[in-house]
Structure 1
Amino acid sequence: MLNSPLNSLSTKPFVKNLTNDHYTLLICTQFRSMTTSKRVQDRSKNKRIHDLEIVTEKNKRISKILNLLEILKKEPEQIIPIKNLAKYRQQINLPKPHKISDFLLKSPKLFELYKDQRGVVWCGMTEKAEELVKEEEDIIERHGDKVAQYVARMLMMAVDKRLPLDKIAHFRRDLGLPIDFRKHWVYKYPENFRVVQPFKPYDEGEYLELVSWRSSWEITELEKKVLDLKEELNDNDHVSGLLSLAFPLKFPSNFKKVYRYGGQIDHFQKREYLSPYADARGLKAGSREFDKRAVAVMHELLSFTLEKRLVTDHLTHFRREFVMPQKLMRLLLKHCGIFYVSERGKRFSVFLNEAYKGSKLIEKHPLVVWKEKVLSHIGYRGKKEIGTIDNLSDLEDNDLFECDSEDESVQMELEQAVTLNYLESNLPPDGSEMEIEEVCRAYRD
């Protein structure tokens, strides 16, 4: 059998003649060796931190509830017909065939259903949920000045000192911004930033632009921590430039390559790098200086967030504005002692390793404590709690708050709600929680 050029490993070009009665066709094909590319899941398989996977799973649970609370908050009377919630499935992240009514019935401490005289079934918040919503608003209001500083510092890091409001919106919940931040909040701090439309008429998009530069805000969160700076310096006391601070490292317990690459890690830690607030337009993309500054930018952005965690595609949206590499995920995976990438769910998340001890944040923002309080009011715990990595495989997005009941009647759902409220009011006095099988059995009886 003749060896076909298509089966050859040679990198030399070849010419194949195909002749018929009308023409001769020359096909020239150049072969070259291709680099194999592994999936993120494969590259991070041996670097998993089980405790942070648990954090990711818990966040998937509570995000559905927070999205639904925000939908209700936007309604004039904070109530909405159940049938109208169908258009928010994507926002709630509750795909078909799962019923929205079943989802609501699994959290009777937060949501209640009732039928009006016309037979329309409505959803609203319980008194407890209303209290929690008011508590969140108060916390956001109290910490507004600090969040405004973080947003201004993001603008200071941006190459043009402005960022699209649409992109900042991705960070809204991560930073602790109010739900109406685009309509009201951005105008509360005119001394820090302003809303502009610099590219009209070609681009009608709104941008947030820095108004004044404050030198005291150029100090990175890492500098404050290492130098133990608890008080803000005067604006003339600091000038951004080269930094030589080492990043805190925390490797997965099963990561065996620290010894092998110890010299490279040590060399990286000792290398000077440009401050995230210094002008980076002169850096060459792909250089060591360029990459280390990108690590510093990501470290700073994660330090601004409530849970020291971000969805990775939110970071990639800012590659141009913050002068970061195109292959940002590769950089995150490479520096697994600084960052941890969780690939659970539909979207990847990146954590700042130093901020966690096990699955707990070392320093908890009041909004994080508030989220934990909301989580304690969600549904009932089954036999499998989110405590070990072995349980996580059974807890995918579309399995949350599921029940064996498949009733299609809204009337039956209301009867189930009554049953659930009865069960809730007759819980054992010691505060122990019911098994999910008991609740489902009550539905069927």
Structure 2
Amino acid sequence: MKRRSIMTLSSSTIPCPKSDSMFVSVRQISSGGKRSKKKIYHRDYQLDKVMDLQKKPSLILQLKSIIQSQKHQSLLLRDVEKEVGFVEKWNFVSIIEKYPSIFHVGGGSGKELPFVTLTRKAQKIASEEGEARNLMEPILVKNLRKLLMLSIDCRVPLEKVEFIGNELGLPLDFKKSLILKYPEYFSIKDINGRAYVNLENWDSSLAVTAREERFASEGVLQSAGGRQKVRIMKDGNYLGPFAFKMCFAAGFRPNKSYLEELERWQKMEFPSPYLNARRFEHADPKARKRVVALLHELLSLTMEKRMTSAQLYAFHSEYLLPSKLVLCLIKHHGIFYITNKAARSTVLLKEAYDGTKLVDKCPMLMFNDKFIALSGRNEISSCNSLNSSQAVM
């Protein structure tokens, strides 16, 4: 019987608001019986807040999309429920009332039914979306090629690409607007009755990770070789070509033995995640470090450097991810952060954030920020926001 790993957060183990950590109960079930243990998982309240901050912007952008999809660029208020459902209707009505700088309500007198449209200012900014999409296209093509190159067979089921489409920034019609548009890079093939997005040509110049690109830009790859003795810093960071950026939570205080073990891990060489995973033994420490690099690269390919846990799990077969994926993410908590603040468990790449702000933003996210600024909010962090702007192409 295969072992299963389950991360459970019971109400009795969740700390009071002043605490910087929580107890994660990890239970391993095997044919030999049961054993349980508790590990402290330090919370990052800034990253938890990222998920809270995306809620209202996501609704605003979704409503924008719905209005733009209408024939006359206006939506009857009675049809809001038809578009979003009875429960969500009230959230959208509240958004319409709260942000008159974005949404204009007209009609309601005589025989004219009340309707909502974008204000002139909102329409003007919305017209810039096409330019943002043009700037996004080469980025999306490159990232989709890299996504396929990371897989063991250089192909991924079409349904799984669709599953993470919002996170990657793909338009809803990406099959037509990207895959079929670039036959030199992609094709769709039927394998055993299942549609796959297939990589047509391998490009070695793309087989460079975001981690390596960052180190190269900082001169680490060149300078590290000339250093005789480089000690790891107290924050876990180490200057070397095989090291990862560590961003421990404020409440985490590593002791000497932890730092010594981390230093050995940071120095350890590992194969590129772009090399086929079948070539390596899973138990090999270098192969396990390669998995960390693979997860790092997958998150780096997304617009906001995060995916839900379910989305990562979905690619278990294509990337030969470990069965105990949650434990892997918890172990490397200086690199990844798991938050349950949203409706779904989400994994974030910690180095991509400075507090609640995403450090690097693509053209589409910058466009979203500009539109949301009409509400009086300067910046947003909205994982679901892209879905709203994708509806109109």
CA apart distance, 1:104: 2.0
CA apart distance, 1:98: 3.2
3-state secondary structure, aligned to 2:252? coil
**Residues 140 and 177, structure 1, Cα contact 8 Å, conserved in 2:** no
3-state secondary structure, aligned to 1:113? strand
Structure 2 counterpart of 1:274, which letter?
Answer: P
Task: Report the counterpart of residue 97 of structure 2 in structure 1.
Answer: 105
1:283 and 2:280 are equivalent in the alignment? yes
CA apart distance, 1:256: 1.9
Task: Report the counterpart of residue 177 of structure 1 in structure 2.
Answer: 170
1:143 and 2:132 are equivalent in the alignment? no
Q: After superposition, where does 1:362-377 map in structure 2 within 5 Å? A: 362-377=359-374
Structure 1 counterpart of 2:51, which letter?
Answer: T
CA apart distance, 1:108: 1.8
Task: Report the counterpart of residue 332 of structure 1 in structure 2.
Answer: 329
Q: 1:62 to 1:140 in 2, by over 3 A?
A: same
3-state secondary structure, aligned to 1:98? helix
1:211 and 2:200 are equivalent in the alignment? yes
Task: Report the counterpart of residue 221 of structure 1 in structure 2.
Answer: 210
Higher strand share: 2
Structure 2 counterpart of 1:247, which letter?
Answer: F
Q: 2:154 aligns with which of 149, 156, 161?
A: 161
Q: 1:315 to 1:69 in 2, by over 3 A?
A: farther
Task: Report the counterpart of residue 245 of structure 1 in structure 2.
Answer: 242
**Residues 163 and 207, structure 1, Cα contact 8 Å, conserved in 2:** yes
Which range moves more in the overlay, 250-259 or 327-336?
Answer: 250-259
Aligned length: 328
Distance, in Å, in 1 between the alignment partners of 2:89 and 2:369 is 29
CA apart distance, 1:86: 2.0
Q: 1:123 to 1:97 in 2, by over 3 A?
A: closer
**Residues 108 and 379, structure 1, Cα contact 8 Å, conserved in 2:** no
TM-score where L is the length of structure 2: 0.74
CA apart distance, 1:314: 1.7
Structure 1 counterpart of 2:164, which letter?
Answer: F
Q: 1:291 to 1:74 in 2, by over 3 A?
A: farther
1:54 and 2:49 are equivalent in the alignment? yes
3-state secondary structure, aligned to 1:51? helix
Distance, in Å, in 2 between the alignment partners of 1:304 and 1:55 is 19
| CA offset digits 1:200-258 (Å, max 9, x no partner) | 3xx4xx3211011111111112112212399xxxxxxxxxxxx9611111111111235
| CA offset digits 1:335-378 (Å, max 9, x no partner) | 11111222212112222222222223333333333332233233
Q: 1:380 to 1:119 in 2, by over 3 A?
A: farther
Q: After superposition, where does 1:242-391 map in structure 2 within 5 Å? A: 245-285=242-282, 287-378=284-375
Task: Report the counterpart of residue 73 of structure 2 in structure 1.
Answer: 78
Distance, in Å, in 2 between the alignment partners of 1:258 and 1:369 is 41
CA apart distance, 1:133: 2.7
Structure 2: runs of 5+ lacking an equivalent: 1-30, 220-239, 381-393
Distance, in Å, in 2 between the alignment partners of 1:368 and 1:298 is 22
Distance, in Å, in 2 between the alignment partners of 1:163 and 1:118 is 53
TM-score where L is the length of structure 1: 0.66
RMSD between aligned alpha carbons?
A: 3.0
| CA offset digits 1:33-70 (Å, max 9, x no partner) | 522376xxx853xx222222222221222222222223
Structure of higher RCO (CA pairs closer than 8 Å, 6+ residues apart) = 2
Greater Rg over alpha carbons, structure: 1
Which range moves more in the overlay, 210-219 or 70-79?
Answer: 70-79
What fraction of aligned residue pairs are identical, expressed as a percent? 30
